[in-house]
Amino acid sequence: MEQMHKPANPIRPWWREPMVWLVIGGPAVVVVAAIGTGIVAWRGADPLVLEVPAANAAPSSRALEPALTARNHAATPH
């Protein structure tokens, strides 16, 4: 009996190639995620705050002390 030899690299349709789905699927997932993020941002947007905070809500100089110390420490050479 004669045996039929299969070709080493059979020709397959493009949709059966795994690399095609990686090339198409990666960007497609990113586009879907971006659209989903846009929808969430659009529907769940925080309302605009137009109120000016009261004068007594300003932080005291004691509250700013750690920030000033860090700023001065970063600005001075050693």
Quote the pLDDT of residue 24: 95
Instruction: Give just the sign of the alpha carbon dihedral 34, 37, 43, 48.
Output: negative
Mind listing the pLDDT tens digit for each residue in 19-68?
999 999 999 999 999 999 999 998 987 777 777 666 566 666 666 677 77
pLDDT of residue 46: 77
C-alpha 64/C-alpha 22 separation (Å) is 52
State how far the Cα of 3 lies from the Cα of 70, in Å rounded to an integer: 82
pLDDT for the residue 39:
93
* In contact, 14 and 20? CB cutoff 8 Å: yes
8: pLDDT confidence band, cut at 50, 70 and 90?
Answer: confident
Domain boundaries, the chain: 14-44
Compute the distance between CA of residue 56 and CA of residue 64 in angstroms, rounded to an integer: 15
